[in-house]
Amino acid sequence: MDDDSRKFLWVVVLFSLFFGVLNFLSLYVERNYAATCSSALPLSLIINLLISIALLSGTLVTLFFVNRSRRRKNLVHKDVLLTLNFLEGDERNIVKFLVDNKGTVTQSSIVKSLGLDKVKVARVLAKLESKGVVVREKFGNTNKVILVDGLRELFSCDVCSK
């Protein structure tokens, strides 16, 4: 749980406790100074208590799901980092370039954008193809380089894009 979640949780808990104490004090005052039946709880007190309990439980449930989502994001982010660390320098640069361009680029755009020569790009792409990271398809005078579906989904998922 990060600091913002903890602060938010404490504010809600303190607000709920303050609200509960205020309700019990109003009950005390009402029982001691009003001419009501001593065995019945006032409806306003019951409603206020239910609101404070709902607020507190809603906050706890929300924080549970937020933390669960953050843990999943961290796991996916670690998978992405492990995948990139598995690759060598130029391989990693090309895969990052592919990810930045939504998983599909032309081979000539890799040459132009990364400043590598054609032969080096062809060799690195051949290595990436043999590792099952990319697929090359003919596209006019050049090749279209496509990140394989599983990796494209991993790198472009909403969880790991932040």
Q: The domain spanning residue 109 has which CATH number?
A: 1.10.10.10
- Residue 71, in any domain of the structure: yes
Q: Can you give the pLDDT at residue 39? A: 57
Taking the C-alpha atoms of residue 97 and residue 103, their distance in angstroms, rounded to an integer, is 8
pLDDT score for 62 = 76
pLDDT, position 123: 94
Which residues neighbour 125 within 8 Å (Cβ) at sequence distance 6 or greater?
94, 107, 110, 134, 136, 143, 145
Evaluate whether 36 touches 30 at the Cβ level (below 8 Å): yes
Q: Do 71 and 94 fall within a single domain?
A: no
Domain span at residue 118?
87-156
Rounded CA gap, 110 and 98, in Å?
A: 9
Instruction: With H, G, I as helix, E, B as strand and everything else as coil, classify residue 121.
Output: helix
Q: Has residue 81 been placed in a domain?
A: no
Given strand 104-106, what is the order of strands in its sheet? Answer: 104-106, 142-147, 134-139
What's the total number of domains in the chain? 2
What pLDDT, on the 0 to 100 scale, is given for residue 21?
74
**Residue 13 identity (one-letter amino acid):** V
Stated as kind and residue range, the H or E segment containing 134 is strand 134-139
Please give the pLDDT value at position 82.
66
Residues 99 and 149 both lie in one domain: yes
What does the pLDDT look like over 99-123, one tens digit per residue?
Answer: 888 889 999 999 999 999 999 999 9
Is residue 160 predicted with pLDDT exceeding 50? no
Q: For residue 162, what pLDDT is reported?
A: 41
How confident is residue 24, by pLDDT bands cut at 50, 70 and 90?
Answer: confident
Separation between Cα atoms, residue 134 and residue 109, nearest integer Å: 15
Based on the domain organization, do 106 and 151 belong to the same domain? yes
Between CA 123 and CA 142 the distance in angstroms is 15
* 155: pLDDT strictly greater than 90: no
Q: What is the pTM of this model?
A: 0.49
pLDDT value of residue 110: 92
Q: Do residues 125 and 147 share a domain?
A: yes
Co-location of 53 and 102 in the same domain = no
Are 60 and 106 part of one and the same domain?
A: no
Judge contact between 45 and 53, C-beta under 8 A. no
- Determine the straight-line distance between the first and last CA of the chain, rounded to whole angstroms: 17
Summarize pLDDT for 41-84 with one digit per residue, the tens. 666 667 777 777 777 777 777 777 776 766 666 665 566 666 66
User: Does 19 reside within a domain?
Assistant: yes
69 plus 48 within the same structural domain = yes
